[in-house]
Amino acid sequence: MQTCVVHLVRNSLRFASMKHWKAIAADVKEIYQASTIPAAEARFDEFAEAWTGQYPAMIEMWRRAWGEFTPFLEFPLELRKIVYTTNAIESLNARFRQAVRRRGHFPNEQSALKVLYLVARQRQHNRTNPTGETAGWKGILNVLAMTYGDRLGLN
């Protein structure tokens, strides 16, 4: 289980005054861009020391979420670009729910799976990136192949 970094940052800003958002966002960025878990912990300690006085609830929220946040730090830096947010997963789940709700009833499990497959394959042309291309994908693919090549089925 991993907490969405974008949601964690947004929740942090919810506790803070708007005049501090830029500084807090910069501090938080140093935490989630740290190269290792100990480095992130050191950055978090600095962050907590700087902001506990003004926003103790924000620091406590980070402490509660730390166990679900740290799996993110175990990914190579290049892969973090594609897993730092769960928005793509949430969007796909919303599309699945919408497709199932529209049809309402399926004669069997196979027909439901077919609809979900078609939804997953459908491109969203009203999006800013309808092709689903990811910037720097070739570098990311190389890291994926080296890290998880046995799971990708690449030869």
Q: Is residue 151 over pLDDT 90?
A: no
pLDDT at 130 exceeding the cut of 70: no
Percent of the chain with pLDDT over 70: 87
Query: Is residue 122 helix, strand or coil?
Result: coil
Q: Whose CA is closest to 28, among 18, 40, 36, 14? A: 40
Q: How far apart are CA 115 and CA 106, in angstroms?
A: 10
Q: Any long-range contacts for 122-130 (C-beta under 8 Å, 24+ apart)?
A: 122/95
* Distance of alpha carbon 124 from alpha carbon 128, whole angstroms: 9
Structure tokens at 117: 């497959």
The contacts of residue 144 (CB under 8 Å, 6+ apart) are 79, 152
Q: Please, which pLDDT band fits residue 2 given cuts at 50, 70 and 90?
A: low
Q: Is 58 helix (H, G, I), strand (E, B) or coil?
A: helix
DSSP label at 104?
A: -
More confident: 60 or 147: 60
- 155 token code pair: 């030869």
Rounded-to-integer distance, Cα 39 and Cα 35, Å: 7
pLDDT band at 140, cuts 50/70/90?
confident
pLDDT category at 148 given cuts 50, 70, 90 is confident
Segment 57-115, tens digit of pLDDT: 999 999 999 988 888 888 888 778 777 766 667 778 888 999 899 887 889 999 999 99
Nearest Cα neighbor of 62 from 2, 11, 26 is 11
Average pLDDT, whole number, for the chain?
Answer: 84
Q: How confident is the model at residue 39 (pLDDT cuts 50, 70, 90)?
A: very high
